[in-house]
Amino acid sequence: MSPIPLSYTDIAGDIAERIETGEYGPGAKLPSYSQLADLYSVSFSTAARAIALLRDRGIVVGAPGRGVFVAGRPHG
């Protein structure tokens, strides 16, 4: 029996949890869409939808040509 594939909402939830626990702190760069797709064993478009959901919620911000970052600035 094959595992149930993750949805973009599952991935967004996992990334949000990692942000809440401090694994990805304010200002931290997230893995690229391709890296996220490999990490979660999903398509590029599923990874992109997950990031879009986080962006819509104000959790992450995109910097064209630089990547996607956790919203806020690092402390210190």
pLDDT in tens, 19-45: 999 999 999 999 999 999 999 999 999
In the structure, what pLDDT confidence band is assigned to residue 75 with cuts at 50, 70 and 90? very low
Tell me the average pLDDT of the chain.
92
Q: Using the predicted structure, report yes or no on whether residue 76 has a pLDDT greater than 50.
A: no
Total structural domains in the chain? 1
Residue range of the domain that includes 61? 8-70
Distance, CA of 56 to CA of 39 (rounded, Å): 22
**pLDDT score for 4:** 78
Q: Is residue 75 part of a domain?
A: no
In a domain, 37, yes or no: yes
Q: Is residue 50 part of a domain?
A: yes
Residue 49 has a pLDDT of: 98
For the segment 4-12, the average pLDDT, to the nearest whole number, is: 92
In a domain, 3, yes or no: no
Output the CA–CA distances (angstroms, integers) from residue 19 to 2, 4, 22, in the order listed.
29, 24, 5
Whether the pLDDT of residue 2 is over 90: the answer is no
Q: Is residue 2 in some structural domain?
A: no
H or E element at residue 55: helix 44-56
CATH classification of the domain holding 52: 1.10.10.10
